[in-house]
A and B are shown apart, each in its own frame.
Chain A
Amino acid sequence: GAVVSQHPSWVICKSGTSVKIECRSLDFQATTMFWYRQFPKQSLMLMATSNEGSKATYEQGVEKDKFLINHASLTLSTLTVTSAHPEDSSFYICSAAGRGLVDQPQHFGDGTRLSIL
């Protein structure tokens, strides 16, 4: 089946640090990747949608200068949390969808737990 690898799985860093999270589709070409944020015991909130080779589309309320998304290839998207602060601490999850998007599931990475001290 389709496999999405997300790395790192856990990050602890100091306030002010920028953190990059990678999302790779291992056995299929991901024309679209999605980035979600999840708080404890809550649902997933879509942050942005990225299509290969174009700028990401951010959801309302998500700061694009804070959360930089790059989707440079059909197998890799990155999310960079710039100048992270404690309120950015959360669980970040990526997902990917291949060509022929109609009625297809998304394939999720295992998430990255980000803790800002």
Chain B
Amino acid sequence: SQQGEEDPQALSIQEGENATMNCSYKTSINNLQWYRQNSGRGLVHLILIRSNEREKHSGRLRVTLDTSKKSSSLLITASRAADTASYFCATGNAGNMLTFGGGTRLMVKP
């Protein structure tokens, strides 16, 4: 079963704007990961944030984690048309098993 819920389910923005996606989960975690999936393809790992970390950056990506609220956010700055994809959060626990959220479908219009 899915542990996480993502919000919004779908997001449409103009190129150059920022995109923010949120993820909530229910149980304790070792880490939280964000993945990207282009249509009909596998998942690409974007960023991993450990449970004792609060914020992490990678290029145009910024991830925050609030374990007290059991939530995380992914911010993509200065979005590009090529960022159009589905984005999934996944919580990692013992044995590195992942439980995925429902995903956010992002469309960036040129």
Give A residues with C-beta under 8 Å from B: 4, 6, 32, 34, 41-46, 49, 91, 93, 95, 97, 101-111, 113
Contacts and interface: CB of A to CB of B under 8 A. Distances in A.
B43 A32 contact: no
Interface stretch (B14-22, B61-69, B72-80, B99-107): B99-107
Given A44-B88, A103-B30, A103-B48, A93 B96 contact: no
Interface of B: 2, 30-31, 33, 35, 40-45, 48, 50, 88, 92, 95-103, 105
Contacts of B42: 4, 6, 93, 95, 108-111
A32 B48 CA distance: 19
A49 B95 contact: yes
A56 B84 CA distance: 35
A4 B44 CA distance: 11
A18 B80 CA distance: 42
Given A43-B2, A108-B35, A113-B40, 14 more contacts: A32-B96, A34-B97, A43-B88, A43-B100, A43-B101, A46-B98, A101-B95, A102-B30, A103-B48, A103-B92, A105-B33, A105-B48, A111-B41, A111-B42
B88 A108 contact: no
A41 B95 contact: no
Q: Chain A at the B interface: mostly helix, strand, loop or mixed?
A: strand
Nearest to A100: B96
A101 B92 CA distance: 10
A46 B97 CA distance: 9
15 contacts: A32-B96, A42-B102, A43-B100, A43-B101, A45-B100, A97-B96, A101-B96, A103-B48, A104-B96, A105-B48, A106-B43, A106-B96, A106-B98, A111-B40, A113-B40
A107 B45 contact: yes
